[in-house]
Structure 1
Amino acid sequence: MATKQTPFPPTKLETIRPTIDEESQIQDDNKNKELDYSKRSQWLRAAVLGANDGLVSTAALMMGVGAVKQDVKAMILTGFAGLVAGACSMAIGEFVSVYSQLDIEVAQMNREKIKEGDKEKEEGRDDEENLPNPLQAAFASALAFSIGAIVPLLAASFIKDYKVRLAVVVVAVTAALAMFGWLGAFLGKASLVRSSLRVLLGGWLAMAITFGLTKLIGSFGL
């Protein structure tokens, strides 16, 4: 008479295998989150640098005009022209640059085409989703520049007194430079104090040189 065989109980390895798979999945998810955060922080840091560029260049232009003209309208019109010209220049430059990058990546993808299959098709769709977007980059660059340029414009718009207006512009730009410097250092994981000081000194230097040279040229009656 045949005896009934009972199934062997699961081994210790089989018992903990789901746990290992779950831990592996959690680690993969964490890596994906870290990757997404890294990409996001790079994009934010680029936006901060664009805003800082708009802030410094527009403020320097306004200080240069303010060195020879005390009229608030001349100062505001110069700042507005600098905002529009700078935003357009940033957008066009970013569009051309990113479009060149897009052409290179698309050409590389075409050279690396593999055999048809579900997995290959899915990977191809993922690669297409990760391609750079020239229009999005151009818009983000122009927007960041404009945000920075608005600061000195708003600071000078409602002040008629010449000396007070210049002082307020310098104070507002200094505060914005400190904020942008701190944020850029935080996103780039750099020293907050040193990075902020570099941004501040660079902005002050740009405004001082523009103001001084324009004042010098204006003294010759040009």
Structure 2
Amino acid sequence: MASKQIASHVNTSAPNQDVERIGSQLEEENHEELFDYSKRAQWLRAAVLGANDGLVSTASLMMGVGAVKPDIKSMILTGFAGLVAGACSMAIGEFVSVYSQLDIHLAQMKRQNNINNNIKQDQDQKETLPNPVQAAAASALAFSFGAIVPLLAASFIKDYKLRVWVVLAAVTAALLVFGWVGAALGRAPWVRATVRVTVGGWVAMAITFGFTKLIGSSSVLG
């Protein structure tokens, strides 16, 4: 009798557990489908663009200078100057941009609240507004993170040709990673994102290298 009761209990509880598990899975899937990935657009744009700009602009500067001055010191100093200048430029630009956006939001909220007289809604809206300081810091850090890649790749290689190929390989790998990460976080097609980012980086480096080589070999600079 006891064994029958136990068996009956197991038989009735197992389907309930299956239903609960299936319900939990469906809830997670629904949450995944309903999540608005466009909410990530602001910080994702700042982070991905900052890292990509740091990577491509610094590598392009190093390639350009390397086209006329193959010594390692010139390339490293150029890359470091590009890192510092670019990080400061990104931070200031993002700060001004987000602050302008914040001013527009606050002005619109003030006009709406003068009509609605809703103080609680005003406080709730202010909590969701962008932070210029955070955006500036994120852009500067992301740019620096990207710029470090070609600097590290070139720092310990004295041979010029080998140094150029190592920098190109490191930048290509980083571009593929940045493209994939950006697509994954935004739930966008990763193949197109990685190809677009990688090819764009190659084009920027090739143009900088070619024009600098052309000007350096001509009589323009004496």
Instruction: Compute the TM-score of the two structures, normalised by the length of structure 1.
Output: 0.79
- In structure 2, the residue matched to 1:52 is 52
Cα-Cα RMSD: 2.3
Please tell me whether the aligned partners of residues 179 and 197 of structure 2 are also in contact (alpha carbons under 8 angstroms): yes
- 1:189-208 alignment, distance < 5 Å: 189-208=187-206
Give the length in aligned residue pairs. 191
Unaligned runs of 5+ in 2: 1-26
Cα deviation, 1:154-195, whole Å, max 9, x if unaligned, reads 101111111111111000000000111111222333322222
Unaligned runs of 5+ in 1: 1-25
Distance 1:34 1:190 in 2: 14
- In structure 1, the residue matched to 2:160 is 162
User: Does residue 69 of the first structure (1) align with residue 69 of the second (2)?
Assistant: yes
Cα deviation, 1:184-215, whole Å, max 9, x if unaligned, reads 22233332222211111111111111111111
Structure 1 residue 54 displacement after superposition: 0.9
Distance 1:115 1:164 in 2: 67
Structure 1 residue 45 displacement after superposition: 4.4
- In structure 1, the residue matched to 2:210 is 212
SS in 2 for 1:112: helix
Instruction: Compute the TM-score of the two structures, normalised by the length of structure 2.
Output: 0.79
For residue 75 of structure 2, what is the amino acid of its counterpart?
M
Structure (1 or 2) with the greater helix fraction: 2
User: Does residue 34 of the first structure (1) align with residue 32 of the second (2)?
Assistant: no
Distance 1:46 1:190 in 2: 17
Structure 1 residue 40 displacement after superposition: 3.5
In structure 2, do the counterparts of structure 1 residues 177 and 195 end up closer, same or farther at CA, with 3 Å as the change threshold? same
- In structure 2, the residue matched to 1:20 is none
- In structure 2, the residue matched to 1:10 is none
Give % identity.
Answer: 73
- 1:48-197 alignment, distance < 5 Å: 48-113=48-113, 120-197=118-195
Distance 1:54 1:176 in 2: 11
For residue 39 of structure 1, what is the amino acid of its counterpart?
K
Please tell me whether the aligned partners of residues 41 and 187 of structure 1 are also in contact (alpha carbons under 8 angstroms): no
